């Protein structure tokens, strides 16, 4: 316990206030999406890489961008080893992928929405209700 502040040290180190981390995580997500899509279009249109390969490359670079920004900035979680964080991040990302696929399918085939709108709605819901809480409490704790 820090006698001057009256707060346990573990409660301070690596903890960013909720609203700050939420805002930062959304900016990190936007930056990762820009890297993802930018890589996809650049590699496909300029370098003439097969679009499926470009999609994978973009997703990988976007994931690395998101992981790094969240670790160093959104959650300031450099006080723990990055390896276990990367494993937890990969697990959450796999769950996120599944939820995104199910959500887009449900909104498109179930509710008859256009797939683009389904993707936007699903991405927002999964990002706020699944990714952010798990990144804050599990991946970058």
Instruction: State the pLDDT at residue 139.
Output: 97
CA-only gyration radius of the chain, Å: 18
User: Rounded to a whole number, what is the largest CA-CA distance in the chain?
Assistant: 62
The pLDDT-based confidence of 102 (bands split at 50, 70, 90) is very high
Which is more confident, 9 or 63?
A: 63
Answer positive or negative: Cα dihedral of 119, 125, 128, 133. negative
Model confidence at 124, pLDDT cuts 50, 70, 90, reads very high
Handedness of CA 61, 64, 67, 72 (dihedral sign): negative
Beta bridge partners of 2: 7
Confidence label for 72 from pLDDT (cuts 50, 70 and 90): very high
Average pLDDT over residues 60-75: 96
pLDDT score recorded for residue 22:
94
- pTM, entire model: 0.79
């Amino acid at each position: 316990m820090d006698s001057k502040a009256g707060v346990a040290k573990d409660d301070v180190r690596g903890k960013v206030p909720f609203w700050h981390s939420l805002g930062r995580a959304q900016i990190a997500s936007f930056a990762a999406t820009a890297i993802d899509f930018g890589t996809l279009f650049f590699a496909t249109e300029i370098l003439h890489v097969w679009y499926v390969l470009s999609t994978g490359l973009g997703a990988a670079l976007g994931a690395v961008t998101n992981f790094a920004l969240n670790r160093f900035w959104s959650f300031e979680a450099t006080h723990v080893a990055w390896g276990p964080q990367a494993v937890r991040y990969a697990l959450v990302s796999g769950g996120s992928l599944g939820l995104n696929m199910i959500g887009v399918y449900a909104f498109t085939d179930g509710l008859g929405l256009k797939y683009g709108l389904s993707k936007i709605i699903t991405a927002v819901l999964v990002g706020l209700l699944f990714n952010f809480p798990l990144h804050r409490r599990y991946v970058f704790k």
